[in-house]
Structure 1
């Protein structure tokens, strides 16, 4: 921080945010004259914090900071605030910025409420004006959609909400509105449940975009109209397996007598994800017959179905220790992790020998997620045996994730800290490394069409080199996209096909200040230095990922194909062009 070179100072400020626990230092730098020209970078670095107290500190600064820094400050607050954040005073203060004279400040406030919904901001969100078809307008509509979950539309709201409804109806008929915005507009429109709105939503049941079809299905599921129910059942007949599953899930809450027989007839049909959606539908139905059927899937050999059944039964509070113990003995990464997680939440039932034996079935780095979950369960079990076992992990493990978890667990049991130990990293580095542009392009040949990446070794040499290494050996051939979240990411590269697999080794994270934008390609991880083969492509800008995941490529052609990708679509192969 004493360097005089601007670029070095920027990197140092970024590094302070990455190391964590430096909030007080960073806040103090905002008042140091020498760092006056770096205040934006300092605020962005504070966005890496995980401390809700820092949100309050930044809220106090909003009254003194210049207008040019207010948007950056509000965005930093959005990133820092935890999922449970609910400070009415701060919410009310931020609500005023929805009417700010500066467009970027209004956009930042809308972004905050899109991540932390607040029903008290609905009127201000509806009145707030954003640029037509802009990212800010999408955030505004997303915030309205989420906030309406806890809001009852009253008669006194009729004029304001009718204006909103008319705007949405107009937007949905335009080809110039991005699908990401329409995705949330459909979600908002469901709250009106009038004939015109429902007719318009039904038109999207046959849209070529899978995200809009899904949003339409979910929106119509809230309607009390029998015509809507019939429309969904009519579409069901010719729908894809994924859409069939979404329709059954959508109808199960209101029409279990219709969907339960459909589930019975189709549990042995269709794609894997379709079956998982049927299991989720059984959980929605919640009858004793439905719950008992879910429990039967704890005994099937298919790990994905077993995992889904267990997860849904946990939500229904229908799991006992014996159920968790069976999964704990499976030696399967996903099943063991979810079982150990349940045991950690029920520490009075934990048994040291079961946990110790489960831990022995895994090795680093492949098993880190399961091993970490078992450590958490041991910490809850709290015996001297668990304390001794955790100390051994601290003394012998080469995984920083496991060592840190074990140290925390040991201190929790004994109220004593363990000394720091230098850890020898055991990370994979390919024989051939690429460090600068131009290196290559990656052409993803998918079941929907071709997508071309521009690779960026100048910011992520190890990640790019690993990706090229795996692509050239055919690792990605015929793997599926196992995770697709609308207006977020498309994720693939897992040989298991469920999000729990990898190449059998881990690579280092390479964090930079490079932002996650539409088309950015990042490395999926389960914690620092746990990446391997899984990657994701952003549907839209995702600023909360900045500095938290490795950026290594960007889409230069084929984003229209990315928008069409859905779960179970395939990566046929990846061609590297030098």
Structure 2
């Protein structure tokens, strides 16, 4: 017996180390708690030491907040504490720890997740553990999940979502694909499980062959009464491009004026993977739709897949379509594939429309057609420098850049014809145009720098915005990540005590009112930032600069072209919340680059889960979201309830 005493003593020590006496204040959680305030101030500067200390605290509320932050701020310093918290007595802490582990992504956390899964009894925690296993990149995760045999709704949902995250990490197995095709047609599964299964199939790499499952997918679409599942099945149909029945389904949906516009947009997108000659007539009908998003998607089809034989037809459709941005896209297709006589018919009309319209977004829609003119480079260079609205200037430059890169691939010597116009843009008054143009001159492949004379180089040296280009011309060294120069925010979460748990607001546009609810409990810094910018009038008279057909609408740019932001950044605040339709979230170009731009989803978009900050949702009718077009103006954002 005595020889076992050292082992028993060691076990007792280990158990005592793992089991903290976690307490929750009788007064409940408070944003004004000094420890919570210190934690969030530290998090905005990504101070890992304070977060690590909070994870090891005995204050239950503080641990939960620290785990939320750890889920958006991966650090090796957190792994040991996350491992310990996976075994906490409190189920909410275990659940948050599981999310943080998946977001952290460390392979060292895979076995602790699996170990806790083998013991866990709480369905919501089981689900989160399975999801997080899928987020850990590597073969072990997908092998485990593919071989896992679920026997409850929580396990099925967790396995399905976990496999979806394996796919996002480019880990795919035939057994996982087969499992997803079984799930979408299974009426006994929850809507969530079927949605993620459909999302998985629609997210498979372009060209992945699902033709063998076409019959099952058709049946799943027919029997489903869930619009989000059906939309992702429409995307998955693009991987069944040899199935005649699916082709007929897509054609029927795309041309049906009584069909939900979201279904029609997705059907048109999937038709791009079927033979053009088979889909053409249906897309012609869609191109004349009175629904702007449908007409634009049909026009985009012809830009991508058109041919010379049908160029006159695109011209005819463009002349008939009354919505100018869609008309412009159809005319662009006519110019892209048409002969000189076709182009000569289009250009005078486009120039006339450009002069007549006062809407800068309509002008921007017409600008890609300018490249088909002999004076196109010169005209676009002029608009990029002197256009009277940021969206005109950046659209002109982006059009020039796109054509420059295409011409370079065809013949590198064609770069020279762009040199003079781009050189002039280095001295534009718009700093965004200057920075983007400077980036082109710093491309070693394009070799534009060889067209700069000594006088121009001397002038470059005197302009602050061109300091990076000046250094490049002298040393060949490119700048680092400029976003690191942004000032981090220093918001005090204590001000949330002035608001109720539910904060409502109205986004008032020239098309209607979008009612939203904010989520301070899952994204406090983001909500404070949105409240402050709204109350300061920052969003007033802004325009929605980005509308992706049946995906998102995006605003928050004071320039109206997507390149504007205040001189600070805020942290990412990721959460386990799923990107359902109507989610309000922050736009970003990477972790911790959020500032003022935000978006609202048109549909269930699971590939965004855990990668973008959700901070609210649409609480009113989504029809008001669907009305928004590129250029729709926000008149004001008003906080209506909660202060």
Q: Kindly tell me: are residues 200 and 432 of structure 1, through their superposed partners in 2, closer, same or farther at Cα, counting changes over 3 Å? A: same
Q: Is contact 1:187-1:215 (8 Å) kept?
A: yes
Q: Deviations over 1:107-165 (max 9, x none)?
A: 545433433434341413533332256323322322333x58xxxx7xxx5xx31x123
Change (3 A) 1:140 1:330: same
Please name the residue that 2:294 is paired with: 212
TM-score (norm 2): 0.67
Contact 1:276 1:308 in 2 (8 A): no
1: CA distance, partners of 2:199 / 2:474: 42
TM-score (norm 1): 0.74
User: Which entry has the higher C-alpha Rg, 1 or 2?
Assistant: 2
CA drift of 1:511 comes to 2.3
**Corresponding position of 1:135:** 228
User: Separation in 1 of the partners of 2:615 and 2:561?
Assistant: 23
Match of 1:255 among 306, 316, 338: 338
1:539 alignment counterpart: 602
SS of equivalent to 2:93: helix
* Aligned partner of residue 73 in structure 1, secondary structure: helix
Deviation at 1:312, TM superposition (A): 1.6
> Is this contact kept in 1: 2:506–2:514, CA < 8 A?
yes
Q: Which residue of 159, 165, 169 corresponds with 1:80?
A: 169
Q: In the alignment, what sits opposite 2:361?
A: 273
Residues 177-215 of structure 1, C-alpha deviation per residue, up to 9 Å, x if partnerless? 5432221223444645568x6555444345443221222
- Name the structure 2 match of 1:304: 394
1:240 to 323, 327, 336: 323
Aligned: 1:126 with 2:209:
no
Which of 13, 17, 23 matches 2:98? 13
The whole-number CA distance in structure 2 between the counterparts of 1:139 and 1:444 is 29
Count of residue correspondences: 510
Is 1:184 aligned with 2:184? no
Contact 1:347–1:381 (Cα < 8 Å) also in 2: no
The 5 Å alignment of 1:128-527 reads 128-129=216-217, 130=220, 131=224, 134-145=227-238, 147=239, 157=242, 160-161=243-244, 163-171=245-253, 178-189=260-271, 191=274, 200-219=282-301, 222=305, 229-230=312-313, 233-234=316-317, 236-237=319-320, 239-257=322-340, 258-259=342-343, 261-267=345-351, 268-269=354-355, 270=357, 271-282=359-370, 294=380, 300-301=386-387, 303-316=393-406, 317=408, 318-319=414-415, 327-330=425-428, 332-343=430-441, 345-346=443-444, 361=464, 383=475, 386=477, 401-402=483-484, 426-429=488-491, 433-434=495-496, 437-527=500-590
Answer whether contact 1:125 1:140 (CA < 8 A) is retained. no
Q: Distance in 1 between matches of 2:473 and 2:114?
A: 47
User: Structure 1 residues 326 and 92 mapped into 2: Cα distance closer, same or farther (>3 Å)?
Assistant: farther
Cα distance, 1:223 vs structure 2: 6.1
Relative to structure 1, is the Cα distance of residues 552 and 282 closer, same or farther in structure 2, using a 3 angstrom cutoff? same
Q: Which moved more, 1:210-219 or 1:225-234?
A: 225-234
> Superposed, which structure 2 residues align to 1:18-57 within 5 Å?
18-19=103-104, 22-33=105-116, 37=120, 38=125, 40-45=127-132, 54=137, 56-57=139-140
Between the aligned partners of 1:126 and 1:39, the Cα distance in structure 2 is 32
Cα deviation for residue 481 of structure 1 reads 0.6
SS at match of 1:500: coil
> Is the 1:182–1:212 contact (alpha carbons within 8 Å) kept by the matching residues of 2?
yes
Unpaired runs of 5+ residues, structure 1, are 82-86, 363-369, 394-398, 404-423
Q: Distance in 1 between matches of 2:205 and 2:620?
A: 34
Report the alpha carbon displacement of residue 536 of structure 1 after superposing the two structures with TM: 0.8
- Unmatched runs of 5 consecutive residues or more in structure 2: 1-81, 151-155, 409-413, 451-455
* DSSP-derived class of the 1:497 partner: coil
SS of the equivalent of 1:141 reads: helix
- Contact conserved, 2:311 with 2:334, CA < 8 A, in 1? no
User: Once the 2 structures are TM-superposed, how far is the Cα of residue 229 of structure 1 from its aligned partner?
Assistant: 4.6
RMSD: 4.3
Q: Report what 1:570 is aligned to.
A: 633
Q: d(CA) in 1 for partners of 2:174 and 2:542?
A: 47
Q: Secondary structure at the match of 2:495?
A: coil
Question: How far off its partner does 1:72 sit?
Answer: 1.9
CA contact (8 A) 1:452 1:556 kept: yes
Q: Is the 8 A contact 1:437 1:457 kept in 2?
A: no
Shift of 1:278: 3.4
- Provide the rounded CA distance (Å) in 2 between the counterparts of 1:444 and 1:250: 36
Measured in 1, the distance between the counterparts of 2:514 and 2:627 equals 11
Give the superposition deviation at 1:228. Answer: 8.9
Among candidates 144, 151, 154, match of residue 61 of structure 1: 144
C-alpha contact (below 8 Å) 2:572/2:592 kept by paired residues: yes
Q: Secondary structure at 2:545's aligned position in 1? A: strand
User: In 2 relative to 1, CA 326–15 (structure 1 residues): closer, same or farther, beyond 3 Å?
Assistant: farther
Secondary structure of 1:574 counterpart: strand
